[in-house]
A = this chain, B = another copy of it.
């Protein structure tokens, strides 16, 4: 297999950081056919992001939400883009800070993550619906 691509929708998550490694991987079982390669996981949105971080203690994800809310506050006096709700402009900034894709090595048919690494969906809106993801797999 040289190239494989699939688009799917993650279900709606509440605002915050959510571990979605298994949900992503289960949508692309074709990873098991790749000995050496890369998986590119891309979110088609500008108010949610993807990152890799600790997959164990859920308080890490809670602290991410607390910290990003402080670092990128709602209702900053300098915001001009404020007609889509107070959570909207901070969501755009957070999305670019954290990034809209992750690229993970594939080795021997598996995502070659570190022991403690998992994929986070970073949901920055208060009332988002599901989020569209495209995974592109390449390798040999």
Which A positions have Cβ atoms within 8 angstroms of B? 2-5, 7, 36-38, 40, 42-46, 51-54, 57, 59-60, 62-64, 66-67, 70-72, 76, 78-81, 89, 92-93, 95-105, 107, 112-117, 120, 132, 134, 136, 138-140
Contact = CB atoms under 8 A, between A and B. Distances in A.
Contacts of A53: 46, 92, 95-96
A67 B70 CA distance: 13
A107 B139 contact: no
Given A2-B140, A46-B117, A80-B63, A40 B96 contact: no
A91 B60 CA distance: 11
A88 to B, nearest CB: 9
